[in-house]
Amino acid sequence: MISYRHHIVSLVAVFLALAVGVVLGGGPLTDLGRDDRPASAATSTSPERPRGADFGDTFAAASAKRLYADHLATHQVAVVAMPGADADTAAALVAQVGAAGGKVSGTYAVRAALTDPGQKSLVDTLGSQLMTQLGDAIDPDAPTYERLGQLLGLAVAGTGSDVETVRESLAGAELVGTSKDATTGDVVLVVLGDHTDPAILSGVSTGLATSTGVVVVGTTRSGRGSGDLVALRADPAAKAVGTVDGGETTLGQVTATLALIRSLSKPGGAFGASGSAGAVPLT
């Protein structure tokens, strides 16, 4: 019987082939699985996508469910959308979570005020008030945005009566909106959008990761040059945060879902075309 690891290694081989410029998009494999995708996915046709990427997306879509092997079954995933996050990409990621057997516990829309450096006093004041109210649930020595990330972690993946208190406070300050009937998740998927100040993104992500597994997904561009994922990956404080670039592609979405599965037992790791830990999680 072919093992789960074998399937992942096969996917890695495709990723590596694409990375060195092997062109597979023009042959009979081009239409492989196009009408039988396990989950809808947003794909990009931008100039920065290499030739052959369509084949990689098709392969990932056709192989995803087998690779997942229902490893998210019985698990809840909280989705945090940063300002400017693409709705189609977020929807495709949600579909992949479902293909892996998981369920989305709720979606949380981060408002522009939370990531605006000019609103730091608001974030700091609210964090201080809630920290006093919640007691030991929040690290009193955490910096402003890491503390906010801890509060957000409590809101999306916490337990007890404090969850609603934090959600209502974040909503009242117009920092985070919560979907109706949201419950708490086992792991958190953060979908990047507009550029976020590196210190803010690192603080929020690091704070989230103190209480649960976190995977941050950005675009292909966010993993290059001065992109958001580049800065996050370079921050030693964020080593417990998993990251995936290429989230606008099916390959990236499948990789992000595999990273979520990995985060249930092992935090961190930089994956995707620009990921230092490899194209996809192997363990």
Query: Are the C-beta atoms of 104 and 134 separated by less than 8 Å?
Result: no
CA distances from 104 to 78, 92, 183, 224, 280 (A): 6, 12, 9, 29, 22
Cα separation, 19 vs 55, in Å, equals 13
Cα separation, 13 vs 6, in Å, equals 11
- Exposed, middle or buried: residue 237 (CB in 10 Å: 0-12, 13-18, 19+)? middle
The pLDDT, as a whole number, for residue 8 is 55
Domain 71-271 coded CATH 2.40.128: no
Amino acid at 203: G
Under 8 Å CB-to-CB from 49, ≥6 apart: which residues? 220, 249
The pLDDT, as a whole number, for residue 11 is 53
Cα separation, 2 vs 67, in Å, equals 11
Which segments of the chain have a pLDDT < 70? 1-53
The pLDDT, as a whole number, for residue 29 is 33
Q: Two tokens at 155?
A: 């809101």
Under 8 Å CB-to-CB from 214, ≥6 apart: which residues? 187, 188, 190, 205, 208, 240, 241, 242, 263, 267
Q: Identify the helix (H) or strand (E) that includes residue 107.
A: strand 103-110
Cα separation, 256 vs 263, in Å, equals 10
Cα separation, 153 vs 194, in Å, equals 21
pLDDT of 95-143, one tens digit each?
999 999 999 999 999 999 999 999 999 999 999 999 999 988 899 999 9
The pLDDT, as a whole number, for residue 12 is 53
Cα separation, 63 vs 160, in Å, equals 39
- Tell me whether strands 176-178 and 103-110 are parallel, antiparallel or unpaired: antiparallel
Largest CA distance in the chain: 63
The pLDDT, as a whole number, for residue 31 is 40
SS3 for 141? coil
The pLDDT, as a whole number, for residue 21 is 43
Q: Two tokens at 216?
A: 């941050």
The pLDDT, as a whole number, for residue 179 is 96
pTM of the model: 0.83
The pLDDT, as a whole number, for residue 26 is 39
The pLDDT, as a whole number, for residue 230 is 97
What are the extents of the domains in the chain?
A: 71-271
